[in-house]
Amino acid sequence: MATPSSQPVFRATTTAPVNIAVIKYWGKRDTTLNLPTNSSLSVTLSQKSLRTLTTASCSPSYPTEDTLNLNGRPQEIQSSKRTLACISSLRTLRKSLEDADSSLPKLSSYPLRIVSENNFPTAAGLASSAAGFAALVRAVADLYQLPQSPRELSRIARQGSGSACRSLMGGYVAWRTGELADGTDSLAEEVAPASHWPEMRAIVLVVSAEKKDVSSTEGMQTTVATSELFAQRVSSVVPERMTAIEEAIRDKDFPKFAEITMRDSNTFHATCLDSWPPIFYMNDVSRAAVRLVHDINNAVGRTVAAYTYDAGPNSVIYYEEKDTELVAGTIKSILGATAGGWDGPFYEPLANVTSSVSL
């Protein structure tokens, strides 16, 4: 009988970037398939500072259950329907390759071991679920040597976490709601590559690295069920903004891009406040950063910076490279010097990336 050590282990490692939405996804029309109530659009950030690193391996010698270890801790994936849905879709694709070519090793029948690490705060409103599930899907797809395109894989990543579908691509990425009930057309697509607007930069201010009280999944469900502002956001506000921001990106019109970005962050947080019970993601330091960005824009007399906040207190500020000193310099010196203000890590300016890169 073969000893465990004589059994092969197959392995693939990948990294995935975070993406920060400028038109926010907030609301599901189908919680099982993880389908959104509205389209969204994001910028994929450089992996130089924030990224998920994931290794997926499988072996006939592994114990029977699939496992996921996140940041050094085993996770309960058997109760995480969404993680299981991603794994099961990927396994089905591998199985069809094996059925078509009997010389392939039967990886689909081996237990999976997934080990992942985020080098930035997890569950703190910095899109860890986006980078996390994009990396998980990419790593298992690489392990299984699947031929599917990033667009096709985005359909799978979406089931893990909606925002994750946008992290499989670089640059400016839209997630279209889709119309079909089975969600097959609810996918990410690249609106423009990073190289289209290479002057774009982002700084990330970690105001708090704490895990949020209300997860994104739970928060958006409360909003859908209880907010009176929400219906208007979905029916008219977001569709108009999607069109306008795609034009701003096409024309590299930073003031237009910036105003839509800031307004959409504000509308999203307004629907959170309008939920019942209300949900608060931003805190006093977040609000100080909002005021500072408006002060900088007013003082300069043109819009040079745009803030946006996901479901958490941490700020992401977009600006163009030529305004680095003005924006990053001022924010660092003023917010960093405020007593009781922001003292968290400050990620250096980020450029866009072209795609998630396999190691």
Rule CB under 6 A: which residues touch ligand DP6?
A: 21, 24-26, 34, 40, 127, 129, 161-163, 216-217, 310-311
In the list Co ion, ligand DP6, ligand ADP, none, the entry touching 136 (Cβ below 5 to 8 angstroms by class) is ligand ADP
Q: Which does 162 bind (CB under 5 to 8 A by kind): Co ion, ligand DP6, ligand ADP, none?
A: ligand DP6
Look-up of token digits 């059994």: 7
Q: Which residue is nearest to Co ion (CB)?
A: 129
Closest residue to bound ligand ADP by CB: 132
Residue 15 or 167: the one with the smaller Cβ distance to ligand DP6 is: 167
Among 312, 335, 347, 355, binds ligand ADP (CB under 6 A): 312
Q: Does 315 bind ligand ADP (CB under 6 A)?
A: no
Tokens 């924010």 sit at which residue? 331
The answer to the question of residue 56 lying near ligand ADP (CB under 6 A) is no
347 contacts 203 by C-beta, under 8 angstroms: yes
Extended beta strands in the chain, E state: 10-17, 19-23, 28-30, 35-36, 40-44, 51-58, 67-70, 73-75, 112-118, 172-175, 188-192, 200-205, 305-309, 315-320, 346-350
| 139 close to 157: Cβ distance less than 8 angstroms | no
Strand duo 305-309 + 315-320: pairing: antiparallel
Number of residues that bind ligand ADP (CB under 6 A): 23
Please identify which residue in 109, 215, 232, 298 interacts with ligand ADP, judged by CB under 6 A.
215
Instruction: Name which position in 154, 167, 216, 271 contacts ligand ADP (CB under 6 A).
Output: 216
CA distance 75 to 108: 21
Pick one of ligand DP6, Co ion, ligand ADP, none as the site partner of residue 159 (Cβ within 5 to 8 A by kind).
none
CB 130 within 8 A of CB 17: no
| Interacting span for Co ion (CB under 5 A) from 46-54, 128-136, 181-189, 190-198 | 128-136
User: Are 88 and 94 a contacting pair, CB within 8 Å?
Assistant: no
Give least dist CB 136 to ligand ADP, A. 5
Site string for ligand ADP, 161-200 (x = CB under 6 A): x---------------------------------------
Stretch that binds Co ion, among 85-93, 121-129, 200-208, 313-321 (CB under 5 A): 121-129
User: In whole angstroms, how close is the CB of 176 to ligand DP6 at the nearest point?
Assistant: 13
Should residue 267 be labelled a site residue for Co ion when binding is judged by CB under 5 A? no
Distance from C-alpha of 217 to C-alpha of 234, rounded to nearest angstrom? 17
Q: Which is nearer to ligand DP6, 43 or 112 (CB)?
A: 43
Site for ligand ADP in 58-97 (CB under 6 A): 70
Structural element, H or E, at residue 357: none
Quick one: tokens of 74?
């085993």
R_g (Cα) of the chain, nearest Å: 21
Q: List, as one string, the DSSP characters of 142-199.
A: HHTT----HHHHHHHHHHH-GGGGGGGS-SEEEE---S-TT-TT--EEEEE-GGGSTT
Minimum distance of ligand ADP from residue 117's CB (angstroms):
7
Q: How far is the CB of 298 from ligand ADP (least distance, A)?
A: 30
Question: What per-residue string of b and e applies to 254-292 under the rule 16 or more CB within 10 Å gives b?
Answer: bebbbbbbbebbebbbebbebbeeebebbeebbebbbeb
159 binds ligand ADP (CB under 6 A): no
